[in-house]
Structure 1
């Protein structure tokens, strides 16, 4: 198997997006999958602890059974698959703006596509999370308007101040967070991933829309730097 292979490259509304697979011999016998938007790295299968923690921490804060859950941002599928490990999940809607990324999973070009496709609780939604989030009269589910959810788990932007696309910046306001919160059931949870340490200004913003805001540092090993790195998961209710 070659040490590097580009599996797919396509144009998208926000730029050229590519899926690559590589092997780094010093890291052992494993395939590493990467997603790039132009020259920018969006996701690597080397660093998934925080993406998985987004689901485990977010759903741990939810009470009850038969949970209906939204994941904003498909990526390489780690947040979605981790959510489905919770047997209480009744249905998972995974919303992604990029039809190409959904296609990679449906066609099983990425390893977790097979897992997601085999689980009848999973449903892909092609659309803009940010547009759907601020339209509670329509909501996330095209088959059921104004549907409410037990948890909304967001992993799209790099952080609340570093955006995948500049158009996403307008989402982070009290008004829009409150509109999104209207799509949660009573005691529902909103959780969000960030690559940066907790940001006090964002915690204050979240507190303007939610009663409780908890910020969790997630540690993971970075073999390139030979040290522990951290991401943040915000959990709000």
Structure 2
């Protein structure tokens, strides 16, 4: 999720103002404005804001770099397709839309309220241009259900699958937003991720903190190369990106 660490309050700011409050399929979601920042709260837990976004943007650009590593040996793939799991405040989508090399950009978001905030609400100022990109598709669905559907309809050669999965639906594999998200990080969930990728595809997962077990779980799920990349934040431990590939050609950390 974007910017887990709440920003400091300006001295002349009276505090956050609630712009919308919804009861969604997985509990309450709230959009607030705090000065110039937008914040998303889920079930009373601060999830993300628009204060930074470096690691959320890097999630997408690092996945493309990892694909370049694979293609350096296997040959360049035409117009790679990326699936972004979690719309959030829109930084990952905006990063993908700013990169002309992506051939298709699919964003999967399970909260209708978040989608509304981007399509017609205040967060449209972050993603309006990206959502207007003809390569972009926004799907309202549970991420794991979508991955299983993609894996089921793709053939052995990878048709219908994605070259990169960039997942940012939790505070990390060890710190999920809701208990039902835990299934994504199980052996079955990671197998669904791998099956939804083309040969040599890349899985990138955002986390607010390191994990001792997740890299091992990725290897156990069949990913040949697993590395981590830390992104410093203003306060607290660095954000972490986990990058996993089918292929052994990816750069070491």
TM-score bracket, normalised by the shorter chain, equals 0.7 to 0.9
Q: Give the CA deviation at 1:103.
A: 1.0
Residues 54-133 of structure 1 aligned to structure 2 (within 5 Å): 54-63=59-68, 64-110=77-123, 111-133=125-147
Asked if 2 retains the 8 angstrom alpha-carbon contact of 1:139 and 1:183, the reply is no
What residue number does 1:27 align with? Answer: none
Picking from 220, 230, 234, the partner of 1:221 is 234
Structure 1 residues without counterparts, runs of 5 or longer: 24-30, 141-145, 223-227
What residue number does 1:11 align with? Answer: 23
**Would you tell me which structure has more helix in proportion to its own residues?**
2
Q: Give the CA deviation at 1:159.
A: 1.1
Give the Cα separation in 2 of the matches to 1:187 and 1:177. 15
Which stretch of structure 1 is more off in the superposition, 128-137 or 118-127? 128-137
What residue number does 2:179 align with? Answer: 166
Q: Give the CA deviation at 1:3.
A: 6.0
Q: Does 1:44 align with 2:49?
A: yes
Give the Cα separation in 2 of the matches to 1:101 and 1:155. 14
Q: Residue deviations 1:60-86, cap 9 Å, x none?
A: 111334111100000000011112222
Q: CA RMSD in A?
A: 2.0
Structure 2 residues without counterparts, runs of 5 or longer: 1-12, 69-76, 246-253
CA distance change for structure 1 residues 137 and 178 in 2, over 3 Å: closer, same or farther?
A: closer
Give the Cα separation in 2 of the matches to 1:168 and 1:202. 15
Picking from 230, 238, 252, the partner of 1:230 is 238
Partner SS, residue 89 of structure 2 = coil
Q: Give the CA deviation at 1:91.
A: 1.1
Give the Cα separation in 2 of the matches to 1:176 and 1:39. 27
Give the Cα separation in 2 of the matches to 1:153 and 1:200. 20
What residue number does 1:189 align with? Answer: 202
**Would you tell me which structure has more strand in proportion to its own residues?**
1
Q: Residue deviations 1:96-115, cap 9 Å, x none?
A: 01011111111142121312
What residue number does 1:176 align with? Answer: 189
Asked if 2 retains the 8 angstrom alpha-carbon contact of 1:59 and 1:83, the reply is no
Give the Cα separation in 1 of the matches to 2:58 and 2:199. 23
Asked if 2 retains the 8 angstrom alpha-carbon contact of 1:104 and 1:113, the reply is no
Asked if 2 retains the 8 angstrom alpha-carbon contact of 1:132 and 1:138, the reply is no
Number of residue pairs matched by the alignment:
219
What residue number does 2:58 align with? Answer: 53
